[in-house]
Amino acid sequence: MITERVKELLSEIEGSQARNKEELEAFRLRYISKKGVITDLFDNLKTIAQEERRAVGQELNTLKNLAQTRFQEFTALLENADDTGSTDLIDLTLPVVPNLNGSIHPLTIVRQKIIEIFERMGFNVSYGPEIETDWYNFSALNFADNHPAREMQDTFFISKSKGEVKDDVLLRTHTSNVQVRLMERQKPPIRSIMPGRVFRNEAISARAHCVFHQVEGLYVDKNVSFKDLKDTLYHFAKEMFGKESKIRLRPSYFPFTEPSAEIDVTCFICKGKGCNICKYSGWVEIAGSGMVDPNVLENCGIDSEEYTGFAFGMGIERITMLRYGINDLRLFTENDVRFLRQFEGA
């Protein structure tokens, strides 16, 4: 009879739970305490026939041990309960909570890639100020006094000079200012790339922004030729856009280079066949470039008889847009996580 009762209690304890302090206390009172059911059964032992007492005693001990083990488990579980007080064991069948990692900004990804490629070709990285004087941004780069790029429509001026001497302070309109600063302080050979932020007084649209990024490149040494420029940029295009990429140079004009060329790369979306990204020409423009004008070398104290150099400048936004098929510049600055998350693991 007592054995039936033990069985009953065993399964009762097996099926019991203590999800909070109250339930734990109820469990303790019923099974552990001196006034509980198990103590009662022990008290009843003496009413049992001598021959059976030993066997029943063992059963009761099993029951008591189970109750104690369960009590300890419940106590431990409650101690580890989470903020909601829930002690439910971890449900391994639940889908994992997504771990939202941050992502690197696409402009940073592309800038790092550009730096990596040029570093492998022996270029180092230089930086210069974003607030600049007219000299470094324009005059030293051979811009004529009346060059249209100096006009208010392009340049954010911080202060305008009053007298004859042009000492305007402005936000740099390109990273070419760093060329001048570098040549001024370092004797050739110079082989450097200069990433940075530039500013132009433009209305913000899908295709233009008043703040954007460029990477400038400069190589000055004895016997640097136009062929070096072509080879360097050809290698860059293949590394950046794929092995099959080709480049083409179109004659152009910049005050600080002579001759100057615009560099196009075969459209890597359509592989040169023609698509809406390349406006069905098969080519996309990626950089301006040229041989450093002797006037610029001289302005920086470098003997233009002894040294020659090439320079180039490219827009990071443009290359990023081409690489990822992004069609609106504003996405780069709006910090919309739906856009940024697409570059996780890129």
The residue (of 128 and 288) whose beta carbon lies closer to ligand DAH is 288
Can residue 288 be called a binding residue for ligand DAH (CB under 6 A)? yes
Rule CB under 6 A: choose which of 290, 308, 321, 332 binds ligand DAH.
290
254 forms part of the interface with ligand DAH (CB under 6 A): yes
What is the Cα–Cα distance from 282 to 49, expressed in whole angstroms? Answer: 103
Q: Does position 312 bind ligand DAH by CB under 6 A?
A: yes
Q: In this chain, which of 137, 257, 266, 299 binds ligand DAH, going by CB under 6 A?
A: 257
Q: How far is the CB of 270 from ligand DAH (least distance, A)?
A: 26
CB of 279 to ligand DAH, least distance (A): 20
The answer to whether residue 313 forms part of the interface with ligand DAH (CB under 6 A) is: yes
What sign does the dihedral 148-150-155-159 (CA atoms) show? negative
Beta-strand pair 283-292/257-266: antiparallel
**Distance of closest approach, residue 199 Cβ to ligand DAH, in angstroms:** 11
- Is 176 a binder of ligand DAH (CB under 6 A)? yes
Cβ 292 to ligand DAH shortest distance, Å: 7
**Is 289 a residue that touches ligand DAH (CB under 6 A)?**
yes
Choose which of 132, 216, 285, 293 interacts with ligand DAH (CB under 6 A). 216
Minimum Å gap between C-beta 138 and ligand DAH is: 11
Q: 42 vs 157, which CB is nearer to ligand DAH?
A: 157
Residue 106 in contact with ligand DAH, rule: CB under 6 A:
no
Name the segment binding ligand DAH (CB under 6 A); options: 120-128, 156-164, 204-212, 283-291.
283-291
| 180 touches ligand DAH by CB under 6 A | no
- Asked if 261 contacts 250 with a C-beta cutoff of 8 angstroms, the reply is yes
Give the interface size with ligand DAH as a residue count (CB under 6 A).
11
Rank residues 142 and 266 by Cβ distance to ligand DAH and give the closer one.
142
Of 18 and 171, nearer to ligand DAH (C-beta) is 171
**250 contacts 284 by C-beta, under 8 angstroms:** no
- 195 binding ligand DAH? (CB under 6 A): no
Q: Which is nearer to ligand DAH, 56 or 215 (by Cβ)? A: 215
Indicate whether 212 belongs to the interface with ligand DAH (CB under 6 A): no
3-state secondary structure the chain: CHHHHHHHHHHHHHCCCCCCHHHHHHHHHHHHCCCCHHHHHHHHHHHCCHHHHHHHHHHHHHHHHHHHHHHHHHHHHHHCCCCCCCCCCCCCCCCCCCCCCCCCCHHHHHHHHHHHHHHHCCCEECCCCCEEEHHHHCHHHCCCCCCHHHCCCCCCEEECCCCCCCCCEEECCCCHHHHHHHHHHCCCCEEEEEEEEEECCCCCCCCCCCEEEEEEEEEEECCCCHHHHHHHHHHHHHHHHCCCCCEEEEEEEECCEEEEEEEEEECCCCCCCCCCCCCCCCEEEEEEEEEECHHHHHHCCCCCCCCEEEEEEEEHHHHHHHHHCCCCHHHHCCCCHHHHHHHCCC
Nearer to ligand DAH, 126 or 289 (CB): 289
Residue 261 beta carbon to ligand DAH: minimum distance, rounded to whole angstroms = 8
For binding to ligand DAH (CB under 6 A), which residues are involved?
A: 174, 176, 216, 254, 257, 288-290, 311-313
